[in-house]
Structure 1
Amino acid sequence: MKAKEISLPVDDGSLTALDFGGTGHPVLLVHGSGHNAAAWTDVAFHLTDHCRVVAVDLRGHGQTRIDSSNAEQYWHDLAGAARSLGWEKPVLVGHSLGGYAVTAVTAGGRIRPHAVCVVDGLVLNDREAAVAEQRKWTTPEAMDQVRAQFRYGWSAGPDQIREFIEQSVREAPDDWLNQGARPGLLRKVLERSFSRHEHSWLRRPTPEQIAVISAPSPDAFVYPSVEVYEHLTCPVTIVLPEQGFYAARRAEVRAVVEARHDRELVEMDTHHNVPMARPAELARVILDLIPPNRLATGE
């Protein structure tokens, strides 16, 4: 589907976003680490008959030019994006890193959403264990790992980029992350992950950006640990894929869900990359969060 590229002013710059249009209750879609707004294209296709849909490129990702200088900016920005759109009480949907982003911006009181949908983007450790886990992603070894595995921070020319994208599409059926994704969608996401940098093109995020957002202050009120869910008072739906990152911790996920009556767990037979592998199923979950009187009315 055709989306309009828009700019959403935030505190110190702007986020680039894809406006998929539609009529009805506002839905803000937030991608995971290494992805960008294009990853939501097929989900948005199933939403726009009923909702007003925008997907953002987080700092350091896609076509957004600003980077993070601290660990909280990228999720703080979601409040600025909602203000720029003139939205009140949107449904927030986040995948992977974006799942924590929509959780954090709600827990911090920067947005009061109608509902939150977290797609395989959970934080389940207590703060002490979480601090130790976060530090792992700030080490030189971790940065080398993401460079080698995903080519984040890779500076390349147009021919190299085309070759990389086509190889990724060919290998997608056997790729743990991209299996089941529509080839054209995978191309869009990969193309959008490169931005012009000096005399070449840079694949984002860079490992350095991953290290920055992985280093929140251990004393922060909102921290990527399981205690963050205590600050969520709106309806929450958690999507847990059977082959996802948290499938082995189902009991802990259920404990988060059972802590409040307005939370729901939806399990799917797929892998981590739910938005690209199971867009229609995920769209149905999101539509269930829309107030009945706001479906396709815009009221």
Structure 2
Amino acid sequence: MRRHSFERDGVVFSFLDAGGDGKPLLALHGHWMGASDFTEVADDLSPEWRVIALDQRGFGETDHGAAHHMAAYVGDAVALLAHLAIAAPVPVLGHSFGGIVAYHLAAAHPERVSAMIIEDIGVNIQDDSTPFVTHWSGTFRLRETLEDRLGPRLAPYLQRSIRRTKDGWTLNFDPAEFLLSEQATNGDHWNVWLQSRCPALVLSGSESRVCDRAELQAMAERRDGTEFARLEAGHSIHIDARPEFVERLRQFLDKQHP
């Protein structure tokens, strides 16, 4: 995947594009993560699919400090597709935070979304990670010190969110800004989820500590044209069980885009 950039309303966005002649698929990452987390998935789906992954505002190599609200996240995704001159509707893969943006995008811009893959995120979001992430702030002389702060459970998933600066090691997002994004995505999203009409696949990680399986199953049961699948994985299914994730993704996409 090659890295590119574009500007929207004074904010410079970074994104990865697999390129090629494959059908485009938009990928939206979860909180604490970035576009680079989809690199291996993009390789697996090539050449049939051209994965385009956005560093959402405040994360990765995209500008930090911009306003955080749902309309902005949705507008950023639309702006990326417009920047690439992609006019036809595309499937959207959203992990966690990215999944919330994906179903809001499908509801607000049905002409942009041909199908949704929602990876381990529900529609009744009430999170407060303040006690958990505040001690991640700052720059650390040793990478190992920052990894110790993240803890043994999360550090393996945030390897691509750690970057080197002249003063040491830090995260490529500000924990305080992440909390603003978390607040912006909290709420009851049931009505938005039920507004869209495109086919959808809801994926649940069997060992996820983030989502309730019953809620994810209810999302599929209450919405027409929606499938549900449970894979042996934690919250980041595309990392924990990538081969099974990609196979399930291909099965779904092949039905929608033969």
Q: What TM-score, normalized by structure 2, do the two folds share?
A: 0.84
Q: Indicate if the aligned counterparts of 1:16 and 1:57 stay in contact, CA closer than 8 A.
A: yes
For residues 165 and 200 of structure 1, do their structure 2 counterparts lie closer, same or farther at Cα, with a shift above 3 Å needed?
closer
How large is the Cα RMSD of the aligned pairs? 3.1
- Tell me the equivalent position of 2:241: 278
TM-superposed CA distance for 1:20, in Å, is 2.0
Q: Indicate if the aligned counterparts of 1:23 and 1:48 stay in contact, CA closer than 8 A.
A: no
| Equivalent-residue separation in structure 2 for 1:195 and 1:100 (angstroms) | 30
TM-superposed CA distance for 1:76, in Å, is 2.6
1:15-61 per-position Cα deviation (integer Å, ceiling 9, x unaligned): 11111224321111111000111111111111112111111111111
| Equivalent-residue separation in structure 2 for 1:59 and 1:236 (angstroms) | 25
1:164-202 per-position Cα deviation (integer Å, ceiling 9, x unaligned): 577799x86xx2674xx7xxxx64x134xx376x96664
Q: Indicate if the aligned counterparts of 1:44 and 1:283 stay in contact, CA closer than 8 A.
A: no
**Greater CA deviation, 114-123 or 15-24?**
15-24
**Partner AA of 1:209 in structure 2:** E
1:110-146 per-position Cα deviation (integer Å, ceiling 9, x unaligned): 76311010001222x3xxxx5xx35xx3xxxx43421
Q: Indicate if the aligned counterparts of 1:21 and 1:48 stay in contact, CA closer than 8 A.
A: no
2:132 to 134, 145, 149: 145
- Tell me the equivalent position of 2:24: 26
TM-superposed CA distance for 1:71, in Å, is 1.9
Identity of aligned residues (%): 22
1:239 to 203, 207, 215: 203
1:215 aligned to 2:183?
Answer: yes
Q: Indicate if the aligned counterparts of 1:242 and 1:267 stay in contact, CA closer than 8 A.
A: yes
For residues 52 and 210 of structure 1, do their structure 2 counterparts lie closer, same or farther at Cα, with a shift above 3 Å needed?
same
| Equivalent-residue separation in structure 2 for 1:177 and 1:264 (angstroms) | 32
- Relative contact order (C-alpha < 8 Å, sep 6+): which is higher? 1
Q: Indicate if the aligned counterparts of 1:25 and 1:290 stay in contact, CA closer than 8 A.
A: no
1:70 aligned to 2:71?
Answer: no
Runs of at least 5 residues in structure 2 that lack an aligned partner in the other structure: none
> Which secondary structure does the structure 2 equivalent of 1:55 belong to?
strand
TM-superposed CA distance for 1:242, in Å, is 0.5
- Tell me the equivalent position of 2:216: 253
Aligned runs of 1:125-164 on 2, under 5 Å?
Answer: 125=124, 133=126, 137=128, 142-148=129-135, 151=136, 153-157=137-141, 160-161=142-143, 163-164=144-145
Count of equivalent residues = 256
Aligned runs of 1:220-231 on 2, under 5 Å?
Answer: 224-231=188-195
| Equivalent-residue separation in structure 1 for 2:255 and 2:202 (angstroms) | 20
- Tell me the equivalent position of 1:267: 230
| Equivalent-residue separation in structure 1 for 2:103 and 2:209 (angstroms) | 17
Aligned runs of 1:94-109 on 2, under 5 Å?
Answer: 94-109=94-109
- Tell me the equivalent position of 1:56: 54
| Equivalent-residue separation in structure 2 for 1:278 and 1:168 (angstroms) | 25
Q: Indicate if the aligned counterparts of 1:9 and 1:84 stay in contact, CA closer than 8 A.
A: no
- Tell me the equivalent position of 1:203: 171
For residues 214 and 166 of structure 1, do their structure 2 counterparts lie closer, same or farther at Cα, with a shift above 3 Å needed?
closer
TM-superposed CA distance for 1:97, in Å, is 0.8
| Equivalent-residue separation in structure 2 for 1:217 and 1:50 (angstroms) | 32
For residues 109 and 270 of structure 1, do their structure 2 counterparts lie closer, same or farther at Cα, with a shift above 3 Å needed?
same
Runs of at least 5 residues in structure 1 that lack an aligned partner in the other structure: none
Q: Indicate if the aligned counterparts of 2:232 and 2:241 stay in contact, CA closer than 8 A.
A: no
1:66-103 per-position Cα deviation (integer Å, ceiling 9, x unaligned): 43313222333111111112222111001111111111
TM-superposed CA distance for 1:212, in Å, is 2.0
- Tell me the equivalent position of 2:161: 190
**Partner AA of 1:60 in structure 2:** G
Q: Indicate if the aligned counterparts of 1:30 and 1:99 stay in contact, CA closer than 8 A.
A: yes
| Equivalent-residue separation in structure 1 for 2:7 and 2:214 (angstroms) | 40
